[in-house]
Structure formats: structure tokens, C-alpha cells
Structure 1
Amino acid sequence: MAEQKKSLEYRFDEVPPAGHLLMLSLQHVMLMFVSVGLPIIFTGQINETTEFASTLVALSMLAAGIGSIIQSAGIPFIGSGYLCPNVCGPSYLSLSLSAAWAGRIPLMRGMIIVAGLVEMALAPLVHKLKQVFPTFIVGLVVAMVGISVIRMSVTSLFGLEFRGDAIRSEDIVIGMVSLFVMVISNIWGRGFVRVYCLLIGMAAGWLLALLLDPEYRHALAVIQHSEMFAIPAPGPEFRGIHFRMDMVLPFVVIAISGSLKSFGNLLAAQKISEPHLEQVDFSPIRKGLLADGFSTALAGVLGGMAVDTSSSNIGLAGSTKVLSRWIGVAAGAVFVLLAFCPKVIVALSLMPKPVLGASIIFAGCFMICTGFLEMFSEEWDQRKTFIVGIALFFGLSTAFLPVLYARSPELIRTFFTDPLPTTTILAVVLNLVLNLDRIVARLLERTAKGG
């Protein structure tokens, strides 16, 4: 016990002192705020007003905050009990837009509820995956959790929003300095400095942005026009919940994909929270997937965007060795409170993109390396080489060549959407196919013994 306490600031079941709990939760809240840009992007795509955007952000934050509390608290029957906060799910953005274009917000709400119920229905089946997730595939999935955020994090680090944007030298300096401060604080820092390395790096980057770029200083003027406290008041455009049969299948498929992504995140959370486990414990993962589905359905009921587990926050927990699930509960509570504070929402949404990008890269590094260490921790053979290699080739190609898959038949396009679920599906299938002779041999052996 003493040895473990030396290596971890707070184990996943420990409760930090109140002051530390608040500061550590704020560190996670800052990272969770990256996803708040999705409701704003969504609003622009459907040509709605600024007031609509504010309401959508607040409702989405409510769903994510409540979901984070349920997920991290691990109450009976639901929630993993790991530090695994919820954020607005980027994988749902495209289909949510399709639903909104077809039937406005009521249809989007209804279809998000359907997706959440599908995720909840899949959760009890997770224990059946035990045989198809050997150690090296678990490691691959954990690594892909980090790899899947590379595109978003690097574009943010360079301050890019659209493909044709020019890269500014100020953004490069701000992003690199932020990342450098986070890394050196984590490596050489002690006590407070090491634990709060992300907050320190964010603060350094933000201050540098205010010094180097007048745009960031001018943007702060927007804050004074926002209210300090306001209860989200959905307008008539939010009223009603509708469903359409022709949209059920796409949302079922994205729910399956979302479940796989959350499965990978929960596996990663378990690996860093309980490293002593020799095999995957599927009970908390099942409860975690149930909580994820419930949170998604809740987002639809409230009128917000679909939510998902956050890879970046899990990476932050692993890199700082601060794993207490109560930090996730506190972060969720803070996120809920912030949903009623428009002034704070505006202030945090003005955080420079390079600083956010540096934060995600910092967290993702730990996930990638932890996964690789797990993957190569057992004896290797040629079968594993092709299982991992082929899965990585096609999984990563979804990020490198999205236009290629956009022109593919619908069945292929459905499953080749994101590196994490695509790599996971291919690795599981290839593991079964390339080990078919061994599986048949074991079945014959059991049959012979039974006879």
C-alpha cells in the first residue's frame, strides 16, 4: 500500500482534501471545455442565433456534467467508478446536423435518445467480449484512444480552424510554450507543480497569448456583456421530441461506434486506475457503458448535444498519476454549475486554441505509450504482427483519407469513420480469423474430453 501511495498522488478510490479536490477538478474542467466548441459549430451550420447557441451550450454542459458525476461516482448498477468525465461527443456531430436539417431540434433530440438507448442495451453484452480482447488488443485500443485525438490536437496547436487557414507564428509560439511548460512541470516539478502541470501550462500559454496577440485582448471585451448567472431557457425551437424511421439505422450504427470508443476509454481508465489487474474486469466497464448510454439519452431529453467519454481527461489522469474518481464527480458538479454562468462560459470559450491543442497533446502522449507498453508486454508472434499492423493501417487511414471513405459504399462508410472504432473492430475480427485454427483445435479438444 505504501509503495503504491508513493507512485500515485491519489488512487482511484481515495478522496483528496477539499482544496486539492477543487483545484484538480478545475484542471479537468478546463480540458472538458474543449468540447464546448461543438455546439457553437452546430449552431452556425443550422443558421441559428447567438441566444440559441448559448442555450445549446448550457444544456449540453448540463448533460455532460451529470453524466460525469454518474460515471465517476460508480453508484450501484451504473457508472464505472473511474475518473472518466463526459464531454460533447464529436462523433455525433455529423448525424446530429443531418437530423436538425431534416426535422430541426425536435428530431435531433429524438434520435439522440434512440442512440443513448441503443448504447444502454449494448452494455450488458460487454462480458461476452472477454475472449476477443486479449492483452495485446487491449493495449492497442488504449494506444488508439491517444492516437485518435492527434488530428484535432495538432490543428488546434497551430491555431487552425479550417483547412485553408494560414499558420501564424504567434500561434506556434503560444502552443509550443504551453506544451513545454506542461512537460517540464510534469517531469521536473515536485508536489504542487507536478500535480497542477496542466493548469500551469495553460496559464502560461494564455498570458503569452495576451502579450503577443492583440486579438486575444480584444476578445476579452466580450465577457463584460455577458450575464453572471442565468437559468437556461430553451426557446420554442427546442420544444418537442420527434423520431423518423429512416434515421434509426444511422443512429444505431453511430451508437455502436460510440460504445466502442467508450469501451476503449474505459479500458484505458481501468488500466491506469488498477494496473495490478492481470485481466480486464468487465463489471465496471459494463456499468460505465450503461452510464455513457444514459448520459447520451439524457442529453436528448434535455435538448443538448450527445455526450461521450473523454479520452483527453483519462490521459491527463494517467500523466499526473492523480486518479481519484471523486475528481471526476467534482468536475461534473463544476460543469453543471458553469452551465448557469454565461460570463464564465464565454471567458473559458475564449481560451486560445494553441493552448487547448497543447493540453490534448500532453494528455494523449501518456495514452499512446501506456497502450504500446501493454501491447508488447507479452510474447509476440507473426499473427499479432498482422493483426495489429493491418488494423492500424486501415484504422489510421480513416484520419488520413476521409474523402476516400466518404465516396465508399454506405456499409463501409458506416464503420470506417474514426481511427478508434475502426481499429478496434478490425483487430477483433482479424484476431478471430487468423487464430481460427487454434480456436477449432481447442473446440475439438474440448469435444474429445467431453466424449
Structure 2
Amino acid sequence: MHRNPSQVDKASDREKRSPRRAANLIYGVADPVPVSSLIPLVVQQVIMLSVDLIFPVLIVAAASGTVEMAQTAVSMMMISMGIGTILQAWRNGPVGSGYFCAHETGTPYFPASIMAVQAGGFPLMCGMTLFAGVFQSLIGRIIHRLRILFPVEIIGLIVMLMAITFITYALPNFIGLDAQGSVSLPVSLLSVTALGVIIGMHIWGSQRIRECSIVVGIVVGYLGSYMFGLLPADKVDKFIDAPWIALPSFGHMGLAFDPALVVPFIIAAFASSIKTLGNLTTCQKVNDDEWKRLDMKSVGNGLFAEGIGTILGGLLGTMGQTTSSGSVGLSVATGATSRQIAVGTGLCFIVLAILPKIAALFAIMPQPVIGVILMVEIAFVLPTAMQICSSRMLNARRLFVLGISLTFGLGVAMVPGFGESFPLWLQPLTKNALALGTYIVQNSSTCICSRRIQKVAEKKCRCLQQCRKTNAS
């Protein structure tokens, strides 16, 4: 439908209005943060974001690499994550969403990276990662033209699927579930204790206590794990043996390209983009009490920044990156979404890249700490997703779209072997509840909710009714 200039101006004015600060935020996106509060807020973000640094190590292991190569891959990942996080918070120009939406190891890239490193070593993985980053940057430049594909209820479903994907990681770590299906009582008790400390400080504590609640819970988890022997001796030895200062090596780097791996890396870039779309939706909503619709320009700039981060990962010899749903959930839980925290977190990772001793402390993170952090994130992100979904009236078409898509997304997590039953090149899509659910929701939305299809169906119904009347007469 054509809109006259006055309508366009009104729509533009709505998008340019100043966001209304949410009442539950201590530090909004543009607020300065005092150093006494900035330090614990940055520390808990760094600890949480370090959980997925195991994936570069697994890639090195798949290539039969050395321990030194694994340390280098982690250090390079830290550098690219740090730069990407700072770029994401940048709000001027075409790069950066302007929100604190930290970057982390791009788990959607993991299956494709394994394929690449086994087929052609690190040069091939780096070259294909660079290609995926360029592709994602291009998505960021055109996504503002695709607003019609992302109505509010679909955005809410994407955010909900992000929270659901965490459940499969959170609960096993929270209760200490092992490969035989046994539950660890010490892990469970310690997890409940650490979570109880966080909840108590967050609900009944003052502002300063609330800011430190996650850090205190993490410290309780680490100390309790050490006291009850939940930290394996080999992991403790790695922490003790790690040097305090060491520069990463650049010997394994190089660039190569294989057309056979284009599709897996494009799928990975698509899955990463959808995850970022959901994360930035949450960022926009929690920073604006009057949020109604997605700011696609901010999302496009955010995807462009993420693409640059992935390109940087390829150039530095590590895997791609994506934005962290956990970081967003943690910032919501602490009520701190300031860009200053993004800058502090990014700089901290860059410094940690040359401090292996500190990085090793994150690498030996015990199960109770991982489980508790993820549980806190789910507790804040999932209700936000429900609010987004229910903010718009759901008719029969939208109910079908959401119900079918949610079923497939849950199926990935609940049905054993569902994702692995598909070809390897398709598994970045089928093994990820967020990616598969979004793919289903977009296709079903196009088929069920398309006005053009609706008009064709109505026309055929009218023709059929006319034919029946003619035959009856």
C-alpha cells in the first residue's frame, strides 16, 4: 500500500523518538558507570562469555593440533571477541548497533569449522570464516528492507527459542548429569546454594549488592567446587602450569577457499544473524519501556559489526563469532546495559589474550557455575520473549505459525538424534533450535500469512461457490 509523504514522516518520527528508560534498569545504555560498579559488572560478563571458549580448543583437537595451538586459538578468539564487542556498542556510522550486546564464540560456526579444518586444515577454516563474515556483513546492509519478514510475534518467537536452546546446557550442568545419566548430589546442592545466593542478593539487596550478585554467586560456585573436589586434578594442574604472560603465536595462520563448503558456512552465517536479531530485539526492548517495533537500522549496523568480527576471526586464525544471548540476559538480570560495560568487557578480553593464567581460570569453570549462570539468563530472557509474543493480538494464522515453528524448535532439543539425521552440511541448521525454528517460522509465515496467497485462496473459494450455485440452478 502506498503511503503519502506525511505518513512516511510520521513513521520516521516514531522511529527517531527518544526511548523511555525502563524502571528496572540501574544503568541504561547511555548512562555512565562508576568504576566501583564497572569492575564487578565487567568481571561477571567476562566469566560468562568465557564458557564457550572451549569450542576453539575442540577445533584444534579435531585437527590433531598441539596444546600451544589451542592456547593460541583461544587467545585470538579473545582478541576478536573484544574488538567485536566494542564495535557492536558503537553507535555512530554504519558499524555497530549502539547497544551492549557482547560477542562470543560463534557456536553456529562450529560444525562448519570442523568440516573445514578436517578437509584443509586451519588455512581453509580461516578462509571460509572470512567468507562467512563478508556474507553476514552484506546481510546487515539489506536487512532493513526485510522488515515485513520480522513482525513482532516472530521476533518474540526467535527470542524464546534462544532461551530454550540454553535449557539443554543449563540443566545438565546444574544437576551434574554425567554420560551415564546419573545426577551428582554435590553439584546439585552447590548449584542450588549459588543460585539461592544470587536470588537473595538480587531481590532483597541494595543497588550495590544487586550489581555484585552474579559475581558473588560465581565465587561461591568456584570455592565450593574446589572444597568438594568437583574440579578435576588435571584441570587444576593446567591452571597452575599456565604462564602469567605469553604472546600468542601466528604460525598456523593462512587463507584458503573451497566452493564445497560455501553452503555450510552460509547456513552458519544465517543462524548467527538470526541469533543476533533476537539479541538486539531484547536489547531494544529492555532499554525502552515504550518499545513497539524493531529498529531495523540498528539491527543492520549490528549485523555489519558482527560480520566484521567474524572476518577478524578468520584473519586471526580462529572461528567465527556471534552475539551472546547469555550476556544480554545477564545485563538484564543486573539492570546494567551501559555501553561503558561493553567497552570494559572488550578491553578486558584483549588484555586477557596475553594473560594465560587468568584465561586458564575461566577454562576450568566447574559445572555448578556454568549451570547457575545459564539458569539466571533463562529466567530473564524467557519472560521477555513471552511479553514480546503476547504484545500483539494473535489470530488463527499467527497461532499456526508460532505453534508449528515452536514444535520444530523444541524437537531439536527433545528428540534424540533429530539434528544428526540430516546431511552434515545441513546440520548447522537442523541441530540448532533457533536456526531451524526461525527457518520454519519464516516459510510458514510466508505461506499462511501472505496477503497475496490469502487473496488467491479467497478468489478460488468465490469461484467454487459460484460454480456450485450454477450447478444447483
Give me the TM-score of the superposition, normalised by structure 1. Answer: 0.91
1:206 aligned residue (219, 222, 227)? 222
Q: Does 1:363 align with 2:377?
A: yes
Which structure 2 residues correspond to residues 27-66 of structure 1 after superposition, within 5 A? 27-66=44-83
The answer to whether the 8 Å contact 1:139/1:372 transfers is yes
| One-letter amino acid of the structure 2 residue matched with residue 74 of structure 1 | R
Q: Does 1:328 align with 2:303?
A: no
Q: Deviations over 1:155-201 (max 9, x none)?
A: 222345x7446432222222222222222222222212212211111
Q: Which residue of 2 aligns with 1:146?
A: 163
Q: Which residue of 2 aligns with 1:398?
A: 412
Q: Which residue of 1 aligns with 2:391?
A: 377
RMSD over equivalenced CA pairs, Å: 2.3
> Which range moved further: 209-218 or 299-308?
209-218
Q: Shift in Å at residue 423 of structure 1?
A: 1.6
- Change in Cα spacing, 1:220 to 1:416, as seen in structure 2 (3 Å) is closer
Q: Secondary structure at the match of 2:418?
A: helix
The answer to whether the 8 Å contact 2:112/2:425 transfers is no
Q: Shift in Å at residue 441 of structure 1?
A: 5.2
The answer to whether the 8 Å contact 1:387/1:427 transfers is yes
| One-letter amino acid of the structure 2 residue matched with residue 100 of structure 1 | V
- Tell me how far apart the structure 1 counterparts of residues 230 and 285 of structure 2 sit (CA, whole Å): 44
- Change in Cα spacing, 1:91 to 1:411, as seen in structure 2 (3 Å) is closer
Q: Does 1:172 align with 2:188?
A: yes
Q: Which residue of 2 aligns with 1:449?
A: none
Which structure 2 residues correspond to residues 270-281 of structure 1 after superposition, within 5 A? 270-281=284-295
Q: Secondary structure at the match of 1:87?
A: strand
Q: Shift in Å at residue 23 of structure 1?
A: 2.1
The answer to whether the 8 Å contact 1:209/1:216 transfers is no
Q: Which runs of 5+ in 2 are unaligned?
A: 1-17, 459-473
Q: Secondary structure at the match of 1:7?
A: coil
Q: Shift in Å at residue 325 of structure 1?
A: 1.7
Q: Shift in Å at residue 385 of structure 1?
A: 1.8
Q: Which residue of 2 aligns with 1:424?
A: 438
Q: Deviations over 1:1-42 (max 9, x none)?
A: 9x9475320111112112322221111111111111112222
- Tell me how far apart the structure 2 counterparts of residues 157 and 165 of structure 1 sit (CA, whole Å): 13
- Change in Cα spacing, 1:436 to 1:159, as seen in structure 2 (3 Å) is same
Q: Shift in Å at residue 410 of structure 1?
A: 7.1
- Tell me how far apart the structure 2 counterparts of residues 375 and 189 of structure 1 sit (CA, whole Å): 31
- Tell me how far apart the structure 2 counterparts of residues 90 and 412 of structure 1 sit (CA, whole Å): 15
Q: Shift in Å at residue 271 of structure 1?
A: 1.5
The answer to whether the 8 Å contact 1:395/1:420 transfers is yes
| One-letter amino acid of the structure 2 residue matched with residue 314 of structure 1 | V
Q: Secondary structure at the match of 1:270?
A: helix
1:125 aligned residue (135, 139, 142)? 142
- Tell me how far apart the structure 1 counterparts of residues 114 and 35 of structure 2 sit (CA, whole Å): 41
The answer to whether the 8 Å contact 1:24/1:196 transfers is yes
- Tell me how far apart the structure 2 counterparts of residues 297 and 70 of structure 1 sit (CA, whole Å): 13
- Change in Cα spacing, 1:326 to 1:55, as seen in structure 2 (3 Å) is same
Identity %: 28
Q: Which residue of 1 aligns with 2:114?
A: 97
- Tell me how far apart the structure 2 counterparts of residues 214 and 367 of structure 1 sit (CA, whole Å): 29
Q: Secondary structure at the match of 2:417?
A: helix
Q: Deviations over 1:372-409 (max 9, x none)?
A: 01211232322222111100001111222352332236
Q: Which residue of 2 aligns with 1:114?
A: 131
Q: Which residue of 1 aligns with 2:152?
A: 135
Q: Which residue of 2 aligns with 1:317?
A: 331
- Change in Cα spacing, 1:405 to 1:29, as seen in structure 2 (3 Å) is closer
| One-letter amino acid of the structure 2 residue matched with residue 226 of structure 1 | A
> Which range moved further: 429-438 or 214-223?
214-223
Q: Which runs of 5+ in 1 are unaligned?
A: 445-451
- Tell me how far apart the structure 2 counterparts of residues 62 and 410 of structure 1 sit (CA, whole Å): 30
2:277 aligned residue (263, 266, 285)? 263
Which structure 2 residues correspond to residues 1-40 of structure 1 after superposition, within 5 A? 4=21, 7-40=24-57
> Which range moved further: 28-37 or 163-172?
163-172
- Tell me how far apart the structure 2 counterparts of residues 324 and 101 of structure 1 sit (CA, whole Å): 41
> Which range moved further: 61-70 or 33-42?
33-42
The answer to whether the 8 Å contact 1:216/1:352 transfers is no
1:286 aligned residue (284, 290, 300)? 300
Which structure 2 residues correspond to residues 211-250 of structure 1 after superposition, within 5 A? 211-213=227-229, 215=231, 219-235=235-251, 238-250=252-264
- Tell me how far apart the structure 1 counterparts of residues 370 and 221 of structure 2 sit (CA, whole Å): 9
The answer to whether the 8 Å contact 2:136/2:269 transfers is yes
Q: Shift in Å at residue 412 of structure 1?
A: 6.4
| One-letter amino acid of the structure 2 residue matched with residue 99 of structure 1 | A
Give me the TM-score of the superposition, normalised by structure 2. Answer: 0.87
The answer to whether the 8 Å contact 2:129/2:320 transfers is yes
Q: Shift in Å at residue 276 of structure 1?
A: 2.1
Q: Secondary structure at the match of 2:326?
A: helix
The answer to whether the 8 Å contact 1:92/1:254 transfers is yes
The answer to whether the 8 Å contact 1:395/1:416 transfers is no
Q: Which residue of 2 aligns with 1:192?
A: 208
Q: Which residue of 2 aligns with 1:448?
A: none
- How many equivalent residue pairs? 439
- Tell me how far apart the structure 1 counterparts of residues 180 and 118 of structure 2 sit (CA, whole Å): 26
- Change in Cα spacing, 1:437 to 1:81, as seen in structure 2 (3 Å) is closer
Q: Secondary structure at the match of 2:145?
A: helix
Q: Which residue of 2 aligns with 1:79?
A: 96
- Tell me how far apart the structure 1 counterparts of residues 157 and 412 of structure 2 sit (CA, whole Å): 16
- Tell me how far apart the structure 1 counterparts of residues 30 and 283 of structure 2 sit (CA, whole Å): 13
The answer to whether the 8 Å contact 1:107/1:244 transfers is yes
